[in-house]
Chain A
Amino acid sequence: MSDIAAPKLVRAPALRRVFDGTPWRRAVILAGFALIWELYARWLDNALLLPTMGATLSALWAAIVSGELPDRTLTSLRVLITGYALGVAVAAALTTLAALSRWGNEALGLLTSMFNPLPAIALLPVALLWFGIGTPSLIFVLVHSVLWPVALACYGGFLAVPSTLRMAGRNLGLSGGRFVVEILVPAAFPQILSGLRIGWAFAWRTLIAAELVFGVSARSGGLGWFIYTSRAQLETASVFAGLLTVILIGLIVEGVIFRTLTRITVQRWGQEQA
């Protein structure tokens, strides 16, 4: 067959490329929020209810310099990542089983419909009974909060893989785990990615809530504990500094990790969902 000529490409103008990106819009929106906050807090003039942004930032700075906030944040992140990784791993194992066998399929369907609606925090009392106060309890509720939404998203993604693509994979003689890993997972990656995102948000939320509820011993407490103790000491600016940290970490994970992951996978493959 004769060669099809390569397409000719023209580079878009530089200015256009800058303005097409989203970062500058985000920056404008953030600046707007900051301005509204600052103005409202000054007008309210009640540091106990709503500290100004300036006061919050200096409390944040002080907490960072004293080493307490980084310490608390690290404690929380360590637990968070452990729980998240475990939850994703169990979800992967469950959905693989579900994709390969009818029993696994039924089991996953039943388990997710039973446990997905159950708020992770509701399991905390049970966790405390089983594991006592401490990290294992936190990890238990974290796994629960990550596992079901991720499993549900993965499995939904598997089901949506076009039958032509499945046949193309089986045509090569693929079956079992290899078929799941090399065909189903990449084909379902848009859904898996959004499942991972949801799981991450759930995990973060659950962890802070759990730390708020049962503090843990002061020595090893995380960010939730930092917020809780600051409130108890009526240091509202520190409460806000703690909340700000939670938000910032969320923004970084979403804006850097998940965005990059999306760009180098589903966007490049032309599979991005609308």
Chain B
Amino acid sequence: MNVAPRSADFVGDAVTAPLLALDHVSISYPTRDGILTAVEDVSFTLSAGERLVLLGPSGCGKSTLLRAVGGFLKPSTGEIRLHGRRIDAPGPDRMTVFQEFDQLLPWRTVLGNVRYALQRGKSLPRPQAEEVARHWLSRVGLKNFVDAYPHTLSGGMKQRVAIARAFALEPALLLMDEPFAALDALTRRQMQDELLKLCEETGSTTLFVTHGIDEAIRVGTRILALTPHPGRLAATFDVPPDTRIRGTARFAELERQIQQSVFADPETEHV
């Protein structure tokens, strides 16, 4: 898919079309025992510069929704539009950071991974791709590891590479599927803070999936809570900038509020 770069926020005459629009989207999987509806009738829009968090318990269809936006899955009903155009295939205008550590190409070095993505995704010539790749790798703190192969990195470092790769392509929309879920609590917090900084510096539009309420408040500007299986929209919360600071009363208050409305059982907050 070749969609306009993120600065251009209009296509044809649809002058202020939202960057991303989901229109009554349902997604189902064919299984041996019949059709499983993972996501039901979800609609929302996302404007440029926003960081929207999809929050919900495990199995509610967050990854499913994100994959559909990524173009890896087709909705069974409804439509997903980027810049007013229907999404029908994956493309480098929507870079996904996955939860799994095996999203990097093991046969390429750290630098090679990011450079290759730039060569293929943005058709940059090799020297230029390498320069951009180095820039982004040093922005995620991996300057000293450009020549390492992914299997020699820690989980957190692999996620940093994936994040660098995603940012380097300057996609219209960044998709993140619980990128920090497999990390220890301390590393996760650090990565959340660093990601937030990158997003704010670049003004990236982001769709972020998580089941952690604190993570949602920390990284999002707006939170969409989903119901348990099948996923439907339950509630929306705006996160003002001053609420985003951990340990403040506002942070705790929003956390409590979301907790009450989304998770009936308080113990499902962390899986």
Question: Which residue numbers of A lie inside 8 Å of B, CB to CB?
Answer: 1-6, 162, 164-165, 167-174, 182-183, 186-187, 189, 265, 268-271
Contacts and interface: CB of A to CB of B under 8 A. Distances in A.
Given A1-B140, A170-B90, A270-B152, A165 B103 contact: yes
B157 to A, nearest CB: 7
Contacts of B91: 171, 173
B120 A2 contact: no
Given A173-B121, A265-B107, 12 more contacts: A1-B140, A4-B142, A6-B144, A167-B67, A171-B92, A171-B94, A171-B95, A173-B92, A270-B149, A270-B151, A270-B152, A271-B151
Q: Of A2, A167, A169, A271, which is in contact with the most chain B CB atoms at under 10 Å from its CB?
A: A167
B143 A3 contact: yes
B103 A168 contact: yes
Given A167-B96, A170-B90, A173-B90, A1 B106 contact: no
B144 A165 contact: no
Contacts of B103: 164-165, 167-168
Nearest to B153: A4
A171 B72 CA distance: 8
Given A165-B102, A165-B103, A186-B107, A173 B145 contact: no
B144 A269 contact: no
B106 A168 contact: no
Contacts of B138: 3
Interface in B120-155: 120-121, 138-145, 149-152
Nearest to B67: A167
Interface residues of B, number: 39
Nearest to B151: A270
A191 to B, nearest CB: 14
19 contacts: A1-B140, A3-B144, A4-B157, A164-B102, A167-B70, A167-B103, A168-B103, A170-B72, A171-B70, A171-B91, A171-B96, A171-B121, A172-B120, A187-B107, A189-B107, A269-B106, A269-B151, A270-B150, A271-B107
A182 B151 CA distance: 19
Contact of A269 (B1, B90, B94, B149): B149
Contacts, number: 87
B98 interface: yes
Nearest to A268: B149
A185 to B, nearest CB: 10
Interface in B100-126: 100, 102-107, 117, 120-121
B23 interface: no
Contacts of B92: 171-173
Contacts of B72: 167, 170
A1 B141 contact: yes
B160 interface: yes
Contacts of A172: 92, 117, 120-121
Given A165-B102, A172-B120, A6 B151 contact: no
